[in-house]
Amino acid sequence: MDLPNSNAQTLERTLGLFLASVELKAFRIARAALRHEDDALDAVQDAMLHLVRSYAHRPPEQWKPLFYRILENRIRDMQRRRSVRNRVMSWLPFTADADGAADPIAEAVSPQMPPVRRLELDESLAALERALAALPRRQQQVFLLRTLEGLDVAQTAHAMGCSQGSVKTHYFRALRALRAQLGDLE
């Protein structure tokens, strides 16, 4: 029996399961920050590759904060690059939007809920996304890491590269701002 090979296969399987468990939420968090689906996908993919390349040997319980730390850095890099690109593009006499029209079949969501309830949730979600987009970026990210991903304060602090006190402050301010904007979210 090839024990090292078996261990490696176990590691690959564990990595695959971990990535599958975070990918959707990571995508949501990246999309909220970047407001662009393809950029968010790129950020998540880069974070996955970086985690596997640099931290796969770490204990699996450390992967989640490390993964979100990488994702956070990637999002910040992309936002900086985008702001530079926008400054340059604003001088050009055309606007390039290569995304084109979305494919309605590819964009179709999985039908797991009654249409009326889905519509209600979609409306709430649209309002929530608008409110989230209006938050300062760090408040937004702390809020999503805590609420959507379920990281605790220490993990969120590690992922964001800040103190636990900052995480608590950002989270409370974000919650209060969203509550003020959205009222009773249904």
For the CB of residue 147, give the shortest distance to another protein in the complex, in Å.
5
Stretch that binds another protein, among 21-29, 70-78, 84-92, 133-141 (CB under 8 A): 21-29
Neighbours of 166 (CB within 10 A): 16
For the record, the structure tokens of 150 come out as: 């379920």
Kindly write out the interface string for residues 137-156 of this chain, putting x where it contacts another protein by CB under 8 A and - elsewhere: -------x--xx--------
Stretch touching another protein by CB under 8 A, among 45-53, 76-84, 92-100, 160-168: 45-53
One-letter amino acid identity for 22?
Answer: V
104-133 burial code (b ≥16 CB/10 A, e <16):
eeeeeeeeeeeeeeeeeeeeeeebbeebbe
Q: According to CB under 8 A, which one of 36, 76, 82, 118 is a site residue for another protein?
A: 118
Q: Choose among 83, 65, 63, 82: nearest CA to 146.
A: 65
- Could you say whether residue 163 binds another protein (CB under 8 A)? no
Q: Which is nearer to another protein, 97 or 186 (CB)?
A: 186
Within residues 58-97, the interface with another protein by CB under 8 A covers none
CB of 68 to another protein, least distance (A): 15
44 in contact with another protein (CB under 8 A): yes
Q: Are 168 and 153 in contact (CB under 8 A)?
A: yes
Q: What is the dihedral of CA 119, 175, 71, 45, to 10 degrees?
A: -10
- Closest listed residue to residue 47, CA positions, set 21, 17, 27: 27
Instruction: Name the site residues for another protein (rule: CB under 8 A).
Output: 8, 11-12, 15-16, 19-20, 23-25, 27-28, 37, 41, 44-45, 48-49, 51-53, 56, 103, 105-110, 112-113, 118, 121, 124-125, 128, 144, 147-148, 175-176, 178-179, 182, 184-186
